[in-house]
Amino acid sequence: MRFLSVLFVLLLALPVHAEGFISRLLNKPVPGGVAVVDLGPAASAPKARYQGKPLLVIKEDQQRWIAIVGLPLTTQPGTQQIQVNDGQPLSFQVGRKHYVEQRIRLKNQQQVNPNAANLKRIERELAEQTRAYQQFSARQPSNLLLDKPVGGPLSSPFGLRRFFNDEERNPHSGLDFAASQGTPIKAPAAGQVILIGDYFFNGKTVFLDHGQGLISMFCHLSAIDVRLGDELPRGGVLGKVGATGRATGPHLHWNISLNDARVDPAIFIGAFKP
């Protein structure tokens, strides 16, 4: 009888369900991270929103649905909420994360303090890229454990507070890979090319829509090997590593955006560091 009582207490202490692979991989609820919110069982996919923007919703097992929430770097630690279907709120907790500084010296002063003409160009290009990040297609991502787009070590992590010539600018919004000029860049998941450009800061750039607000951006390319509207399979080559735009040498800068929030790509390749 005592054994049964102890067993009953232990069962009460266990979670209602076992955490699935996607939750274990992606649930890093910090500013610049990802929160996985359990939506429970339903016959069809619930619709969920965070800060008014639609969320990626997938079925983690045969019954349960989960919402995968991108958290901007500006997210405040504490309780956050998503809205499900008719507006029913679901709460989740966001922790803290410290991001270190990076100081870079640039010879081209225009890449630190652009003149009026370049500022107009930058504003125009930023608006174009913002529209791409805000796209939300119905397709399901082919995979959420993403492949690295290039081999080689990670050189600059996500979230760095960046100082160019001792002047603070926006935090580092992606992940940098140290790779040599001309290295092929491969799609980390299947996707459609939704934007191609040659931008002031980003240089030659490709945006891939993987589905439901999950979007990759690759920049500083030396060559672009796709066209607007192309469908790329997982592993398909989209371009080559370069040093175009604001870059001190050849490397790949890779952004991941989720519900229009730039989040740490290291989460999706199993390389996240708390």
What was the pLDDT predicted at 263? 97
For the chain, report the end-to-end CA distance as a whole number of angstroms.
44
Q: With contact defined as beta carbons under 8 Å apart, do 219 and 199 qualify?
A: yes
* Whether this model's pTM surpasses 0.95: no
Domain boundaries, the chain: 2-94, 101-269
pLDDT at 205 over 70: yes
Q: For the segment 42-64, what is each residue's pLDDT rounded down to a tens digit?
A: 999 999 999 999 999 999 987 79
Report the chain's mean pLDDT, rounded to a whole number. 87
Q: Do domains 2-94 and 101-269 have the same CATH topology?
A: no
CA angle 28, 50, 39 (to 5 degrees): 70
* Separation between Cα atoms, residue 77 and residue 126, nearest integer Å: 28
Contact 228, 255 (CB under 8 A): no
Cα 76 to Cα 28, 30, 53, distances in angstroms: 14, 9, 18
What is the CA 200 to chain-centroid distance, rounded? 22
CA–CA distance, 129 with 132 (Å, rounded to integer): 5
Percentage of the chain exceeding pLDDT 70:
85
32: number of Cβ within 10 Å: 23
Q: Residue 9 has what pLDDT? A: 35
The region of weakest confidence among 80-89, 157-166, 202-211, 213-222 is 157-166
pLDDT of residue 31: 95
Calculate mean pLDDT across residues 147-159: 90
What's phi and psi for 25, nearest 5 deg?
A: -70, -45
241: buried, middle or exposed (CB in 10 Å: 19+, 13-18, 0-12)?
Answer: buried
Length of the chain: 274
Q: pLDDT confidence of 234, banded at 50, 70, 90? A: very high
CA 176 – CA 154 distance, rounded (Å): 6
The residue-averaged pLDDT of 107-124 equals 74
CATH for the stretch 2-94: 2.60.40.1590
Q: What is the pLDDT of residues 159-190, one digit of tens each?
A: 886 554 545 456 778 999 999 999 999 999 99
Indicate the CATH number for domain 101-269. 2.70.70.10
Beta bridge partners of 54: 49
User: b/e per residue, 77-99, with b = 16+ CB within 10 A?
Assistant: eeebebbbeeeeebebebeebeb
The neighbour count for residue 148, using CB atoms within 10 Å, is 18
* In the predicted structure, residue 201 carries a pLDDT above the cut 90: no
